[in-house]
Every structure is written in structure tokens, then in C-alpha cells.
Chain A
Amino acid sequence: MPSKDTDTGTGKGGSIIVETVTRLMVPFIQLFALYVIIHGAGGPGGGFQGGVIFASSFVLYVIAFGIVKAGNRFSERANIVLFSTGVYIYAGVGLLCILFSYGAAQFLNYGYIPLTHHFEENRALGMDLVEIGIGITVMAVITSIFFNLVWKREEVGEREGED
């Protein structure tokens, strides 16, 4: 966990230009990420790519505002819940296919989830659901990896300082 009194990561040297541009860019990056996730089934892109783009917006935020300010916004617990949620959505959709068809359809055979009356439409919607699950997991895991890398270095620095 970050301590507030350390000098590192409080956004030292953060220029007004970088901060303003980041404020402007982050919503657009996230919107683009959502676009990539939703259009993954029909065009280039998909859950993984969209998730990485979404996470990159957080990375940009950390670069501009420092890890402490960013760390106050994303807690580690929320991250864990998020990346588990993604896996739950993915595996859950797969299992729902088996349940709704009473064992007639295979795992991840989306057409059998009764969302609408058309088999093909169900299949498209199921695919989107799975992509959203993948996107959430990838976003949370990449953010988690990045935050861990940044924080671990700080902790080592503190420990060396104590010794």
C-alpha cells in the first residue's frame, strides 16, 4: 500500500500540459476501448485488445498524476473483484448455455441462451457478453500488474531507506 508521506509518486514535476491533456484523453481512450470490445465479434479487435486499451488509460493517468493519487482511486480489492467478475461472466455464459438447453447444447454454444427469439441474435449477444467478460478481466489484470510493479519498487526503496 502506498504511504502518503513518501516523495515518490506524488506527481512530482507534473506539468500542467501533461495533466490537462491526460484529463482530455482518458475519456476518449476509454470510449475507444468500449468500441473495440463491442465490435470485437464483427470486426478487428475484441475483448483482449479492448481491455488492454482500457487499462492503458489508467497507465496514462498514473504517469500524469503519480501513483499515490491514482492508487486512491483504484483499490486492490476492487481490482480482484473485477478480474474475478470477468472470469465469472465468461464461464457463467458457457455454463448457462448448457443449463438453458437442458444439456443439449455444448459449453459456450451461445445460441441457446434465450435472450431474444432468434438463434443468430442470441449467438451475437452471447459473443458480446463473453467479450465483455474478457475485457473486464484483461483490464483489471493489466492494471493490477502495472500497479504492483510501481508499488513494489517503492516498497523496496523504503526498506533500503530503513536499513
Chain B
Amino acid sequence: MLIVEHFPVLVVAISMFAAFTILIAGWLLNKKCCFFISFITILVQFILSIFILHHVLTVGTITYWLGGWAPPWGIEYVVDALNAYILVILLFLSLVCVMYSKRYEEHEIPNKIVSYYVLYQLLVTGLCGVTVTGDIFNMYVFIEIFSLAAYALIASHGKIALKASLTYLVMGAIGACFFLLGIGFLYSVTGSLNMYDISCILKTGDLYTSRVVQAAFTFFIIGMGIKMALFPLHTWLPDAHSFAPAEISAMLSGIIIEVSTYALIRVCLSVFTVDFLEMYFPITTLICWTAAMAMIYGSVLAIAQYNLKRMLAYSSVANMGYIMLGVGLCMSSSFGLTPALMHILNHALMKGCMFLAAGAFIYKFDLWEIEDFRGLGRKMPYTTLSFILAALAMIGMPPSVGFVTKLYLAVACFQAGQFVFVAVIFFSTLLILFYFWRVIEYMYIRVEEEGATAKEVKVDEIPWSMLIPVLVLGILCFVVGVLWLVNTPAFPLMDIMDAVNAEFGLGVVP
């Protein structure tokens, strides 16, 4: 057994270990060591995840039998190109956010540092667990772990955040219940919890027409739809995103809802197969139209917001629409899942950068409203620069990440013959341009209205441990965009996409 094959379980186990080490070290020794333990652990996890991705691309899928028990009886961890890709994104964003959190949380909640980092580490544990597992009940357990950690982290600033967290808790619990009901229905029919095993039994047992199986599928869609804030089920998202601490907002928007999307993709395509979606349960048209509505609705409501974090939250609703449009079109274009998976990485970079920058304005000057941003471009030049890089990427300036997503999505729409969605993409781009231009205008252009004081502005930047994450994400918005387009051997992003599509039998024009 190769040592790399142990890495999927090590990623989860050392994270769990670290969470409790932080607890003991923080309470018995020193509060300051919490951050360092968390940072080093996530760094090690990130390195492990890169080895996993490399192994998956060069050798093949990793299957790991926990305790040596064979799959239908024991828990199996399966890591293929899709898992490994999500795992790397997730750990990269966690690493960036934990670096940012050091000064931010020392400033905001100095008394709760220990519990904050314990919960953060548990959140990372849960997210990693969801991505590496190949057992559907194990996946549910990890979804609960990261959700519970996320509820507590959102509430960590107290006051109004408690209410937002409670809303999320109620909605998230309902979503998890639906997911569990789906698992129960499937288990009653197939008698198995291993994803691959279930898919084999469904196929060979000719169970696709069974009402129970179809009800289970509906439950999965609704449950994960709530967790990932799919348009009509997104009501918890704006409050939770705007009142959470900055780096938790970035994690929530950048990766937590995307991991739920991953769970949905995994259930739709690995447990239920493409055949089921094509012939027995044609839901892709519905997903496409819901996604289109989310793109318009999220953007329109984002225009109506005066609070920056709230505006970004509604923008997340719109961006989930982009991802789901990619999922909905996956069977009718030659790109397969590429646009959806592409946007998972792109959205993590853009939204991560913007939420961290929004947190920086709150940290430094306690500015929440967009109208108060007058002259901020001179006071905090680097933070605003990276915010604007991310905003331009969101609008879709070539060669940024947003441009690549929109290009691939539009071509996929043309291939599928769904021209109306091209119009929707174009229209939502106009709306995005409108609401980000307003922010840029206040930051850079409307300086004069403050009068003579604006002329001598001292540069007053955030500390470097917060600035580096924001800048790195802002610059990556454009670097990754170029990497998507040229596909160098060192960063074989397109090869990952091809591997995923080949695995699910997608990407072939019907």
C-alpha cells in the first residue's frame, strides 16, 4: 500500500487531532498557540491534498477501506479527480482565511479565541470529510459536523448574528433531515450505504422506476438545495453571510455552499447515474430555469442593498445560479461539468477576496455601508486594489476567472441550443456591472464631495497578515483565469476537468 493512499484519511484524522489539541493547549497553556496549531495543521493538510491530487491524476482513483473492511460492510473513502479538486480548493481557502483570522479575531473577540479556533478546525474537518468519503451515511455525518461548526462560528460575534445563526440552524437542520430521509429511503430499497454499491444495485435491480428511489432523489435535491442556497431556498443566506465574521463569510460563500453543491453532484451522478437523470427523472431543465431565476433575482436584490456584505451575499445567490446552470447543462454540451466545477474555484477566489476586503474595512474603520466608502481608495490602496481586481473578475473582464466561466457557460448554452440562457448570462452581467461599479465609484471617484480634507490622506493599511490573503486572492483572480485558458503542464486544470467528465461519462455531444 502506497503512503499516498493513506493521505485521505490522514487529512481528516490530523484535523480532528488538531481541533482537540487546540482546545487543550489553549485552555491549559497559552491562547496564542491556538492560531499557530491551526495554521500549521491546515498547511500540512493542504500539502497532503496536493499529493492526493497529483496521485489521482497520474495513477488513478484512491480507494481506502477503513479498518480493512471491504466496501459494502465497512466505510470506504474514495478520492477521484472531482474530490481531489474540491479538496485542494477547500484547503487553500481555509489556509488563507485562517491566516487572515489571526488579527481580525484578536480584535473582535479576544475572549473567545480558543473556542473560535477549535470550531474552525472542526469546520475544516467536516468539509474535508464530506469531500473524501465514498459512503453516503458518512457523508451525512460530516455534513452535520461542518454545519454545526458553521452555526456556532456565524454566531460568534453575538447580538444580531445570533438571530442569523438561528435562522441558518433551523433551515440547515431541515435540509439535513431531507438528506437523511433520502438516505433512509435508498437504504430501505437497496440495503447498502456505499455509494458505488448503491449505484450498482439501482442499475442491476432495475430500480430506477421505483417511486421510493425517485422520492429519495427529490429529497436529496431539496435537502442539498437548502444547504447550498439554491434560489427559492436561499432565505437563510443573506443574514448568515452578512453578520458572520469576515473570514467565516468568505468560507461560507466561497466553499461551504460549494461543498454542498459537490455533495449534490456526487449524489446525482455517482449514486444516481446519468442514465437516471436522462431517462427516468429529467430534472436538468428545471435546474437550469431555477438557476437562471437565481442569477437574475440575486443580482437585482444585490442592487437594492446598501450594506456591502449583504450585497455580496445576494451576489452569492446569483453565483450559485451560475454553478447550477453549469450542472443543469452538463449532459447537453461537450464541456460536461467543466463550467460548473470551474466556477466553484473561481467563485471561491472572487468571493473570498471580496469578503475578506469587506472585513478589512470593518476592522479598520468600522465601515459597513457602501456610501461611507468615500476616498477609501487612497486610505487603503492595496485592499481596495484587490477588491477591485475581484470585482472586475466578477463582472467578467478578460482574462479574469469570471470571464472564463461566462465564456464556457455561454458556449455550453449555444451547444445545448438554449439561447435564452445566453441572454440571461448577459443580462446578469449588466446587473453585476451596475452594483460593483457603484462600490468602485464611491471608493475612487466620489472623493471630492468630502471637501478639502480629502487631499491629504494618510495611507492606513491593515496589518500584513490580513493584507497578504486579500492580495493573494485578488491577484489569483487573474492568474487562474490565464491558467484556465492556456493549461500549462504545471497547473493542469483542464486535465482535471477532462478526468472528471470521463469518469461520469459526460462531455460527449449527444
Contact = CB atoms under 8 A, between A and B. Distances in A.
Interface of A: 77, 80-81, 83-84, 87-88, 91, 94-95, 98, 103-111
B24 A81 contact: yes
B23 interface: yes
A107 B3 CA distance: 12
B510 interface: no
Given A77-B27, A80-B23, A98-B6, A106 B65 contact: yes
Task: Specify the main secondary structure of chain A where it touches its partner.
Answer: helix
B148 to A, nearest CB: 13
A110 B69 CA distance: 11
B23 A95 contact: no
A105 B23 contact: no
B135 to A, nearest CB: 14
B464 interface: no
A107 B6 contact: yes
Contacts of B68: 105-106, 109, 111
B66 A107 contact: yes
B306 interface: no
15 contacts: A80-B27, A81-B24, A83-B20, A84-B21, A84-B24, A98-B6, A103-B3, A104-B1, A105-B1, A106-B6, A106-B65, A106-B67, A107-B66, A109-B67, A111-B68
A139 B483 CA distance: 52
Task: Specify the main secondary structure of chain B where it touches its partner.
Answer: helix
B59 interface: no
A160 B16 CA distance: 39
B414 interface: no
B64 interface: yes
Interface of B: 1-3, 6, 9-10, 13, 16-17, 20-21, 23-24, 27-28, 64-68
A77 B28 contact: yes
A84 B67 contact: no
A87 B16 contact: yes
Contacts of B64: 106-107
A84 B9 contact: no
B23 A84 contact: yes
The 5 closest A-B pairs by CB, nearest first: A109-B68, A84-B20, A108-B67, A107-B9, A87-B20
Contact of A88 (B10, B17, B66): B17
B20 A88 contact: yes
Contacts of A83: 20
A162 to B, nearest CB: 20
A107 B10 CA distance: 9
Given A77-B27, A105-B68, A110-B67, A91 B17 contact: yes
B27 A108 contact: no
A44 to B, nearest CB: 19
Contacts of B6: 98, 103, 106-107
Contacts of B23: 80, 84
Contacts of B65: 106
A108 B77 CA distance: 13
Given A77-B28, A106-B64, A106-B67, 17 more contacts: A77-B27, A80-B23, A84-B24, A87-B16, A88-B20, A91-B13, A91-B16, A95-B13, A98-B6, A103-B3, A103-B6, A104-B1, A107-B6, A107-B9, A107-B66, A107-B67, A111-B68
A103 B13 contact: no
A102 to B, nearest CB: 9
Contacts of A95: 13
A87 B16 CA distance: 8
Given A95-B13, A106-B68, A107-B9, A80 B1 contact: no
Contacts of B17: 87-88, 91
B24 A94 contact: no
A80 B6 CA distance: 29
A112 to B, nearest CB: 9
Contacts of A81: 24, 28
B22 to A, nearest CB: 10
Contacts of B13: 91, 94-95, 107
Nearest to A98: B6
B142 to A, nearest CB: 15
Contacts of B16: 87, 91
A145 B3 CA distance: 40
Contacts of B21: 84
Contacts of B1: 103-106
A108 B6 CA distance: 12
B8 to A, nearest CB: 9
A103 B3 CA distance: 6
Contacts of A84: 20-21, 23-24
Nearest to A81: B24
Nearest to B21: A84
A83 B66 CA distance: 23
Contacts of A110: 67
Contacts of A104: 1
B65 to A, nearest CB: 6
A117 B236 CA distance: 57
Contacts of A105: 1, 68
Nearest to A127: B67
Nearest to B28: A77
A91 B13 CA distance: 7
